[in-house]
Structure 1
Amino acid sequence: MAATAKSLQIVMFPWLAFGHMIPYFELAKRIAQKGHRISFISTPRNIQRLPKIPPSLSSLMNFVSLTLPRQDNLPQDAEATNDLPIHKIPYLKIAYDNLQDSLAEYLQKSTPDWIIYDAMPYWLPPITAKLGIPSVFFSIFQAWTICYGGPSSSAMINGKDPRTKPQDFTVPPKWVSFDTRVAYRLYEAKKFFGHFEMNDSGVTDIVRVGTVMAGCDVIAVRSCMEIESEWIYLVGELHGKPVLPIGLLPPTAHDSRDANEDSTWLTISEWLGKRKRKTVIYVAFGSELNLSQNELTELALGLELSGLPFFWALRNRDETIVLPDGFEERVKGRGVVWTSWAPQLRILAHESVGAFLTHCGFSSITESLYFGHPLVLLPFSMDQGLIARVFAEKKAGIEIARNEEDGAYTRKSVAEALKLVIVEEEGRIYREKAKELGVLFADEELHDQYVHKFVEFLQNHRQVSDQ
């Protein structure tokens, strides 16, 4: 049936965060490679900052630019979450919500076969239903995180969640019937509880997600059965609709993008090339996380205390938060603090790198395990705590010990975790398990098959509905 199925026209509409837009763009490329047309919708400035469409796919992929409506509380040119402090993000959600008329108009004119959308546009399911366009909710969050939200109709939308205080989130939910230690720590549960509370956008995050999941036809998850089959099945049970893993979207070839990247890489690779194989700790926390002064200080002094070589890609956007006095001088020759953009994939691919100290964003986890590096886990927000539990449970890495109440960690706990994973005999299990998982994460054929099955489902479903 798939061989004679027609080429699909698919619209993709991610939330305005690069941690969402990049996986959507990666999935778009993989669908286009199978001969289907993709219209990728975002705002003008985000489109400028996204990767370029590969020339081989330019006839099948295009960007559709929708102007973000003005919002009084948003700075000029703020079109993504990384343009804003966290307390301003609800205003970005208001502006995003105000895209609904221009999006509805575009959908009416373009009549796509499918729309693939994100967790925030709770207003979109009625529009797609009215226009007769089948829809996919593509979750960049894994099934274990989705399951924590509970059933969409009762727990997420109607406020009938039996969990009423942060402590209730420190154990697996009652609807999880299999054995697992994946749960929030108390300090994480307090933050997660905030998603149930009203914000300045006028709609809670949990209602947004629940309404999207209740209104879509299919749920797609950035995951695979080899990692979390029980959780994937549970999402289907909780929401009563097809759940399709689309694979891990492992990184594509890390070739250079421009001359500036090449000169940056030349400097970094020269430093890495002087270090012994598998000894360097790569440290990076994504582009949006701002550490507090105490968090930054303890992390820096922990790196120093470990005595190990490190490359720290530090992108703290708050200029009032500074490194400890004399730190860079004391670690000179052993450690580098790199404060501009760094080519993460190229660094991870270098043979001198031995472990990744990460905030546990799933893209970073995927990239690290793609190269078989063990993880030193230091989660900070949203789903990162659950991701840390999963990979600690799989023995692919170790979490830095923290205070249960407030999440504080010390230089000693940082240094101990680093030394364990990199040099100590006790840490061999993490090095071996990460290498084992690396085989799965780097299996391009396996992950391509997941995309293939996903597209085949979309084709078959569309054909049935057209008959």
Structure 2
Amino acid sequence: MAPSSKLHIAMFPWLAFGHMIPYLELAKLIAQKDHKVSFISTPRNIDHLPRLHPNLVPLITFVRLPLPWVDGLPENAEATSDVPYDTVQYLKKAYDGLKELITRFLETSDPDWLLYDFVPCWLPEIATRLGISNAFFSIFLGSTLSFAKPHSAIDDRKKPEDFTVPPKWVSFPTKVTFRLYEILRVFDFVTGNTSDVSDMDRLQEVIRSCEMVVVRSCMEFEPEWLQLLEDIHGKPFIPVGMLPTTEYDNDEQTDTWRSIKQWLDKQEKRSVVYVAFGSEAKPSQEELTEIALGLELSGLPFFWVLRMRRGLADTEVLELPDGFEERTKGRGVVVCISWAPQLKILAHDSVGGFLTHSGWSSVVEALQHERALILLTFLADQGFNARLLEEKNMGYPIPRNEFDGYFSRDSVAESLRLVMVKEEGKIYREKAKEIKVCSEIGKNKTSSWTIFWVTCKAIDVKQNPKKV
């Protein structure tokens, strides 16, 4: 095996920035080993990705595939953040329409490896037919993947209530599961939608058909879940680390950060609550009102990055309570922008806690800077992430009604004060430091080992094609 051999690795993430950004982080690590990466997405999404460091530009090529138009999908919508939740099904249908284009690209570019997301369940078969080594790269944690049915198991989960307990193939006690209000919001992931294939079926088919699964996780954080997955699926589940987000600064972002920093510089160390719910999670108007009034009642300084709508097609535009900004002026800031320098905000010494939707990229960004977590879930895998963090005492969930998810301004205020200043919340402030160590291990050791392992396997297969 020639250790100097260089590879060409193609990547095809789902059209959500919570997926594309981790894929890009893995692409950067691969490129740092001098391998070539073809990062495949749609034109508008590629234009909105963070800039690469000049040293990586020659090694990472962005492949632009035009997204087919489908009835029901708004014009220029190419990412989940561009559309309301109930329109994402049409985005999946359009994404499936890329099948012919990506097949043509794979036939002509001859990559050594293909890494794909859970949505293109038709892609493993194409890669195998073309003789391309391939893997499902999951941005979901192992604990989340464990809810997908193993191929040999019988799955009798039919009702939302069936997903509020761990599946029967999980062999150890755990709190990691949906709450009823969480599964009710996204139950179409089981029942299916206009895209003709349910998310659960897509996930299960991709796991069944791929050669191996690469997981955005590390053994130091969830060893029991990663081992369980290998046992029940009978194939490798390889952790590549937490993949904390990295950014290469550009001039367009400088002015935005400068104005934010001026306000943060005036606050006391670790006193500010940073509030942000990612590019997809959108509270209802009632939830937004309770969050705002809870921040007001807490008496704590806060910096809130608020998205009022999900794309131009979203007609339900949120509004802050009357007089809220005037009453909290000086103590709190609300900015309604599509992009915020989250890494820089979380790294600032004045920030002590993060009120978050529990999206894993945001969680990792917060914990690498030792910020305590207050958890408020909305969609997708956020509930699983929150349960796992709660189980490990790494995050405090705002108390909610188990059936409809209702929470009050009082519970928001009390949760913020508990985690930020009270003695009984000290455990959350201390635990944040522990996962920082895990994040560094995942970034520096596990990822390097995994890339080496994948690289060696790919070279071996390429040099010995009879093994395919």
Question: Could you tell me which residue of structure 1 aligns to residue 332 of structure 2?
Answer: 335
**Seq. identity, %:** 54
Instruction: Indicate whether 1:275 and 2:280 are aligned.
Output: no
Say if 2:50 and 2:248, in contact at 8 Å, map to a contact too.
Answer: no
Report the 3-state secondary structure (helix = DSSP H, G, I; strand = E; otherwise coil) of the residue aligned with 1:76.
Answer: coil
Question: Could you tell me which residue of structure 2 aligns to residue 39 of structure 1?
Answer: 38
Say if 2:308 and 2:319, in contact at 8 Å, map to a contact too.
Answer: no
Say if 1:5 and 1:459, in contact at 8 Å, map to a contact too.
Answer: no
Selected match of 2:439 from 421, 438, 441: 441
Instruction: Indicate whether 1:245 and 2:242 are aligned.
Output: no
CA–CA distance in structure 1, aligned partners of residues 204 and 12 of structure 2: 17
Displacement after TM superposition at 1:319 (Å): 5.9
Say if 1:289 and 1:316, in contact at 8 Å, map to a contact too.
Answer: no
- Give the residue type in structure 2 aligned to 1:115: L
CA–CA distance in structure 1, aligned partners of residues 449 and 346 of structure 2: 25
Matches for 1:344-383 after TM superposition, within 5 Å: 344-383=342-381
Say if 2:52 and 2:248, in contact at 8 Å, map to a contact too.
Answer: no
Report the 3-state secondary structure (helix = DSSP H, G, I; strand = E; otherwise coil) of the residue aligned with 1:226.
Answer: coil
Question: Could you tell me which residue of structure 2 aligns to residue 306 of structure 1?
Answer: 298
Selected match of 1:219 from 183, 190, 213: 213
Report the 3-state secondary structure (helix = DSSP H, G, I; strand = E; otherwise coil) of the residue aligned with 1:56.
Answer: coil
Displacement after TM superposition at 1:453 (Å): 3.8
- Give the residue type in structure 2 aligned to 1:83: D
C-alpha RMSD over aligned residues: 1.7
Displacement after TM superposition at 1:73 (Å): 2.0
CA–CA distance in structure 2, aligned partners of residues 192 and 320 of structure 1: 21
**Gap change, CA 1:73 and 1:422, over 3 Å in 2:** same
Displacement after TM superposition at 1:451 (Å): 4.2
Aligned residue pairs total: 459
Selected match of 2:419 from 410, 418, 421: 421
- Give the residue type in structure 2 aligned to 1:414: V
**Gap change, CA 1:464 and 1:33, over 3 Å in 2:** same
Q: State the Cα deviation string for residues 328-365 of structure 1 (Å, max 9, x = none).
A: 11111111011113210111011010100000000000
Displacement after TM superposition at 1:450 (Å): 4.2
Displacement after TM superposition at 1:179 (Å): 2.4
Selected match of 2:256 from 253, 258, 264: 264
Matches for 1:54-453 after TM superposition, within 5 Å: 54-151=53-150, 153-154=151-152, 160-252=154-246, 254=247, 256-258=249-251, 260-317=252-309, 320-340=317-337, 341-443=339-441, 444-453=443-452
- Give the residue type in structure 1 aligned to 2:66: T
CA–CA distance in structure 2, aligned partners of residues 223 and 457 of structure 1: 21
Displacement after TM superposition at 1:143 (Å): 0.5
**Gap change, CA 1:453 and 1:172, over 3 Å in 2:** farther
CA–CA distance in structure 1, aligned partners of residues 319 and 159 of structure 2: 35
Say if 2:308 and 2:317, in contact at 8 Å, map to a contact too.
Answer: no
Say if 1:171 and 1:183, in contact at 8 Å, map to a contact too.
Answer: yes
Say if 1:245 and 1:450, in contact at 8 Å, map to a contact too.
Answer: no
CA–CA distance in structure 2, aligned partners of residues 457 and 380 of structure 1: 40
Say if 1:355 and 1:422, in contact at 8 Å, map to a contact too.
Answer: yes
CA–CA distance in structure 1, aligned partners of residues 55 and 317 of structure 2: 45
Q: Give TM-score, length-normalised by structure 1.
A: 0.94
Q: Give TM-score, length-normalised by structure 2.
A: 0.94
- Give the residue type in structure 1 aligned to 2:229: V
- Give the residue type in structure 2 aligned to 1:396: M
**Gap change, CA 1:17 and 1:221, over 3 Å in 2:** same
Report the 3-state secondary structure (helix = DSSP H, G, I; strand = E; otherwise coil) of the residue aligned with 2:192.
Answer: coil
- Give the residue type in structure 2 aligned to 1:343: P
CA–CA distance in structure 2, aligned partners of residues 376 and 431 of structure 1: 11
CA–CA distance in structure 2, aligned partners of residues 88 and 189 of structure 1: 18
Q: State the Cα deviation string for residues 134-168 of structure 1 (Å, max 9, x = none).
A: 111000101100001121x256xxxx412222222
CA–CA distance in structure 1, aligned partners of residues 124 and 245 of structure 2: 31
Question: Could you tell me which residue of structure 2 aligns to residue 18 of structure 1?
Answer: 17
Say if 1:82 and 1:287, in contact at 8 Å, map to a contact too.
Answer: yes
- Give the residue type in structure 2 aligned to 1:230: E
CA–CA distance in structure 2, aligned partners of residues 463 and 61 of structure 1: 21
- Give the residue type in structure 1 aligned to 2:131: G
Displacement after TM superposition at 1:302 (Å): 0.4
Report the 3-state secondary structure (helix = DSSP H, G, I; strand = E; otherwise coil) of the residue aligned with 2:22.
Answer: helix
Say if 2:11 and 2:23, in contact at 8 Å, map to a contact too.
Answer: yes
**Gap change, CA 1:320 and 1:460, over 3 Å in 2:** closer
CA–CA distance in structure 2, aligned partners of residues 94 and 169 of structure 1: 26
CA–CA distance in structure 2, aligned partners of residues 452 and 215 of structure 1: 21
Q: State the Cα deviation string for residues 363-401 of structure 1 (Å, max 9, x = none).
A: 000000000111000011111011011111111220000
Report the 3-state secondary structure (helix = DSSP H, G, I; strand = E; otherwise coil) of the residue aligned with 1:219.
Answer: strand
Q: Which runs of 4+ in 1 moved over 6 A?
A: none
Displacement after TM superposition at 1:272 (Å): 0.8
Report the 3-state secondary structure (helix = DSSP H, G, I; strand = E; otherwise coil) of the residue aligned with 2:114.
Answer: strand
Say if 1:371 and 1:442, in contact at 8 Å, map to a contact too.
Answer: no
Say if 1:163 and 1:169, in contact at 8 Å, map to a contact too.
Answer: yes
